[in-house]
Structure 1
Amino acid sequence: MRIILLSLILVVLTGCASNVVTDYDSGVVFGNYGSWAFAPKGEGQNFTSLDGGRIESAVEQELNRKAMRKVDPEEADLLVAWQIVEEERLERSGVGFGFGFGSGNFGWGLASAPPVREIEEGKLVVELVDTETDRVVWRAASRRYLNENQSSESRRELIDEIVADMFEKYPPGV
C-alpha cells in the first residue's frame, strides 16, 4: 500500500514540474504593451534557419492569442529576441562489464564503466525587450531540449509545445 501511495505522489509531483522557467521585471506594467516585433537580426545574418522559422511561427501564434499586434520594429512596444543555447551533456549507453571471485570477507573483482557519449542539445530562450528602455522585461527558458536526432515534424511539435508553455505564463501575475 505504501508503494502505491508513494508512486501516486511521485506521479503527481512529476506532473506539476514545469517545462519552462520564466523571469520578469516586477516593476513593469505588462498591460501597457500592445504591440510587438521580432528583434532585428544580428550583423551578417540575413536568413532565418529552419528552426528559426518554426520558433517565429510559434511565437507569433502565441502573441496573437494574447491579442497583441505585430508591427514594424520601429513602432513596437516589445521586441522579441530568441536564441537556441547549445549545451553538451554526457549520456551512458549500454552497461558495464564485470566479474569477480572470492569468499567470506575477501575477494577480487574487475569491472568496466559503461560507455559514455557526448550529446549536443539546444535549449530555447525567448526574451521580451522594452523598446523604450532597451531592457529585458520578461524571459523564458525551456527545460526541454532540441537535438539532432529529432525529425523535422517532431522538432516542430516540440517547439510549438515549448513556446505555448512559455507564453502560458505571460503576462506574469495573471
Structure 2
Amino acid sequence: MNIVKSLAIAFAFVGAAITMQAAAKVEVIQSSSPALAKGATFAWAPMRAFGTGVPDPAITNEIAVDRLRTTTEAMLETRGYRLTEDPAEADLLVAYTVIMQPETGGKLKADGADCGLPFCPTAGDYRLDASQHTQGTLVLDLIERETGRLVWRATSKKRVTGKDVSEAKLTVLLRDMTKALPTQ
C-alpha cells in the first residue's frame, strides 16, 4: 500500500471518529467517608440545581428537571441509600450541575474521485458538511453534610438531544453514573 492510500485511510478513520456520536462517558472521583456506606441517608442540598452554558429548551425544562430528580433518587435507593426530606438529618447532600454548550462539527466528503476511499489521491470535488449539536455535561455530587466536604462526584459528558431526557435514557445514564458508589 502506498503512502497516499495509507494517509487516506488514516484520515477516513479520524474523520469517522470525530463525527460519530459517542455514548456518555462517565468519570467518578471519590474520597473515603463513612457517610458513603450503604444505608446512609441522603437529601437534596438546600441550594438550587446549577446550570451553565446555553440552555436548550428541549432539555432544560421543568419536566426534565423533575425526571432527573426522581431518577437520581431511585438510582441512589437501588444502591442502598435512603431518602430523607430534611437535609439537616441526612448523611449526604445531593446536588447536580447541568452544563450545555453548543458545538459545531464537520465532515469532509469527496465526490467524483472514484477510488473507493473517502479521501482519494486523485483530483475530485470535496465538500465540508457542517453540523451543530449540543454537548451536555451532568455532574452529580454527594456532599458529606457534617463536614460540607465533597466525597463523591460522577461526571457524564455526551452530545445530547431532547430524547436524552426521557425516563428510560435518564435511568440508563444515572445507573452508569451511580454504579461506582460503595454498597458495602
Interval containing the TM-score (normalised by the shorter chain)? 0.5 to 0.7
Q: 1:160 aligns with which of 171, 174, 183?
A: 171
The 1-side partners of 2:111 and 2:103 are apart by: 23
Tell me how many residue pairs correspond in the alignment: 144
How big is the shift at 1:123? 2.1
Map 1:40-55 onto structure 2 (within 5 A): 40-42=46-48, 49-55=62-68
1:66-77 paired onto structure 2 within 5 Å:
66-71=79-84, 72-77=86-91
- Report how far residue 127 of structure 1 moved: 0.6
Where structure 1 has 5 or more consecutive residues not aligned to the other structure, the ranges are 1-16, 100-107
Structure 2 gap segments, 5+ residues each: 1-22, 50-60, 114-121
Contact 1:80 1:127 survives alignment (8 Å):
yes
CA distance in 1, matches of 2:135, 2:72: 21
The corresponding residue for 1:64 is 77
RMSD: 3.4
The answer to whether the 8 Å contact 1:88/1:118 transfers is yes
- Correspondence 1:120 to 2:134: yes
- Contact 1:121/1:147 (<8 A) preserved: no
What's the secondary structure of 2:94's corresponding residue? strand
Q: How does the TM-score come out when normalised to structure 2?
A: 0.63
TM-score (norm 1): 0.66
Query: With CA pairs under 8 Å and 6+ residues apart, which has the higher RCO, 1 or 2?
Result: 2
Percent identity of equivalent pairs: 24
1:125-164 per-residue CA deviation (whole Å, 9 max, x = no partner) reads 101011112121100011444324x276xx3221110101
Q: Which amino acid aligns with 2:73?
A: E
**How far did 1:81 drift?**
0.6
Q: Is the 8 A contact 1:97 1:114 kept in 2?
A: no
Q: Which moved more, 1:160-169 or 1:27-36?
A: 27-36
Name the counterpart of 1:141.
155
Q: Is 2:19 the counterpart of 1:21?
A: no
Q: Does the 8 Å contact 2:93/2:142 carry over to 1?
A: yes
Counterpart CA distance in 2 for 1:137 and 1:122 is 23
